[in-house]
Structure 1
Amino acid sequence: MTDFPDSRPFWEAKTLTDMSAAEWESLCDGCGKCCLIRLEDDETGQVHTTDVHCKLFDNKTCLCSDYPRRKEKVPDCVILKPSTVSALKWMPRSCAYRLLSEGRPLPDWHHLLTGDRDTIHDRGMSVQDGTISEVGLSDDELLGRITVWPGEPSWEDG
């Protein structure tokens, strides 16, 4: 019997842990939602996303301005890893890493399907130009910035 190579795209043929570093990095859709400040309700444990971005986030490009040194500059930055992504329940529900870890397909606007990294922005599924920097904001100001982003449930939806 002859073994035939798997003709499916790598994100369908491989597990997250089997992907190369380049394949793993290519999954990021550039939505920017993971770079937003989140607030956790002390009583319910519910996590709320704001429209406030990390000081390193560029809301025009939806990219980190110092990706290689992000953990050094922002110590609480969470570095996504194939082995830990499924445990990060705060990850955006539209995130490719989360979707694939849950056995779900990539959304139709994902650049690996469309061939165009701007599709996510054109479809309104990113935070591009819709956020402000965390620099100089107080905790009280953050409370007034809770936002429901496209592709994400409202806090009532859980």
Structure 2
Amino acid sequence: MRLNLLSPLKSNPKSSADATNATIRPQFWTRYTLAELNHSEWEALCDGCGSCCLIKYIDEDEDGDVDESLVEYTDVACQLMNCETGYCQHYDTRQHYVPDCIQLTVDKLPDMMWLPAHCAYKRLYKGQALPSWHLLLTQDAVATQQQMRAVNIGVAGRCVSETGMADEEMETRVVNWVLP
């Protein structure tokens, strides 16, 4: 099965109008469950690596379960990815351009364990700590970016667009720098 991309949720997982404009509570990731996070907190968990927007190949067994170790990421990104910066060019309206863009929600997360091992959503779901370089811990965007590069995290400058690429060519572009 080929999976195109995934983008973090842009609406509150609790669907509360008040929570959409809520501020980020101190150390929220250690004090609340993922289902208890407001929109701002949910979004703050994303480290912006862009790995979820890469084309990936996922094999499911007959029950639909995925063996994380068999997931293969390519260096081919969604057509909306700016491969220089590693950011979506139309994040807020992405589904207008890419209708099958999967939105990460707390309800869908259990079926998305193919996310990268460093992903804060996946780590917190599994009861693991945030990576030491995460912006919520460092409180320094430059330090976070430098540390992410040092541990080989992120697609900026390392991906190519899917635009005009044949499926056969994508299959030859599997990389080992994203680990599920």
**TM-score > 0.5 by shorter chain:** yes
Q: Distance in 2 between matches of 1:103 and 1:65?
A: 32
Q: Distance in 1 between matches of 2:61 and 2:43?
A: 36
The structural deviation recorded for 1:89 is 2.2
Deviations 1:27-79 (A, max 9, x none): 00011100000123588964311000001111232211111111221112110
| Percent identity over paired residues | 40
Is 1:91 aligned with 2:124? no
**What residue number does 2:172 align with?**
144
Q: Which runs of 5+ in 1 are unaligned?
A: 1-6, 154-158
What letter corresponds to residue 27 of structure 2 in structure 1? Answer: P
| Cα RMSD, aligned residues only | 2.2
Deviations 1:127-149 (A, max 9, x none): 22100000011011001100012
Is 1:53 aligned with 2:71? no
Q: Which has the larger radius of gyration?
A: 1
The structural deviation recorded for 1:84 is 1.5
Q: Distance in 2 between matches of 1:57 and 1:80?
A: 17
Is 1:40 aligned with 2:55? no
4+ long deviations beyond 3 Å: 40-46
TM-score if structure 2 supplies the norm length? 0.74
TM-score if structure 1 supplies the norm length? 0.83
Compared with structure 1, are the counterparts of its residues 54 and 105 closer, same or farther at alpha carbon in structure 2 (3 Å cutoff)? same
Where 1:52 maps in the other structure, the secondary structure is strand
| Conservation of the 8 A alpha-carbon contact between 1:29 and 1:117 | no
Q: Distance in 2 between matches of 1:109 and 1:31?
A: 12
